[in-house]
Amino acid sequence: MAALTEDTGRVTAEPERGDVTRLPAESLAGTSLVTASALLDLLTAEEAEAVAGACVRAGVPALLCLSVTGRVALDPPDPLDADLGAAFNDHQRRVTGGRRLLGPDAPAVAAAAFARAGWSVHRAPSPWRLGPDQAGLIASWLRGWVAAAREQRPALGPHTATYAERRLAACASGRLSVVVGHEDPPRPPPEPGSPARAREGSRA
């Protein structure tokens, strides 16, 4: 729980451990905003519905940032980009522990959950734009992207080693840029004069 002290403008925080998918509306009493980063794509449709329901019942807006959209563009392009992108997106939607993750479907599912409750929803793109000056981050992202795609579709395995080699060489020489699609679906703003307190969540 984070709170803004009105007399000093300082933010104080008190950690509170819990399961965001079982967030009771009453725990949001006195909160002006629920915010989370890179969370929605790790939820199931039912869990996203539960989070939206808690916010709606409590009358608290939510700002749920950095949800993957499944859109990736590498420059220069490579013939394997599309196959790897599709495999990665399937990996994001995989079933794990009996739960089917939303992956890139998360922004639309969460927006629909809030809209069904009668709330206005404002979806906005927030892509990562990584250029040659962020070669280290591109390389780290690329390795994870390829590994997840290979795990999802083992048949891609024989091709991924040379693909990664080509891409990492281009990255090291400053010849690779990447745009990774994300979306921020903000919710209605808090009422004027409401207490400046926020509940925050994120994924590990």
DSSP letter assigned to residue 147 = H
DSSP letter assigned to residue 6 = T
Tokens of 191: 């009422």
Side-chain half-sphere of 194: how many Cα atoms within 13 Å? 14
How, if at all, do strands 99-100 and 128-130 pair?
A: unpaired
DSSP letter assigned to residue 186 = B
Angstrom CA distances, 134 to 53, 57, 82, 141, 143, stand at 39, 42, 23, 11, 15
pLDDT of 7: 56
Angstrom CA distances, 34 to 54, 157, 202, stand at 10, 41, 11
Tens-level pLDDT at each residue, the chain (204 residues): 555 455 556 665 566 788 888 888 998 887 878 888 999 999 999 999 999 999 989 988 888 889 999 999 999 999 999 999 999 999 999 999 999 999 999 999 999 998 888 888 888 899 999 999 999 999 999 999 999 999 999 999 999 999 999 999 999 999 999 999 999 865 554 444 444 344 445 443
Contact 173, 8 (CB under 8 A): no
Contact 69, 40 (CB under 8 A): no
Contact 189, 132 (CB under 8 A): no
pLDDT of 5: 53
Q: Does the reported pTM lie above 0.85?
A: no
Sign of the CA dihedral with 99 first, then 118, 65, and 190 last: negative
Residue partners of 152: CB distance under 8 A and separation at least 6? 87, 88, 90, 91, 94
Residue 148: CB atoms within 10 A of its CB come to: 18
Strand partners, 32: none
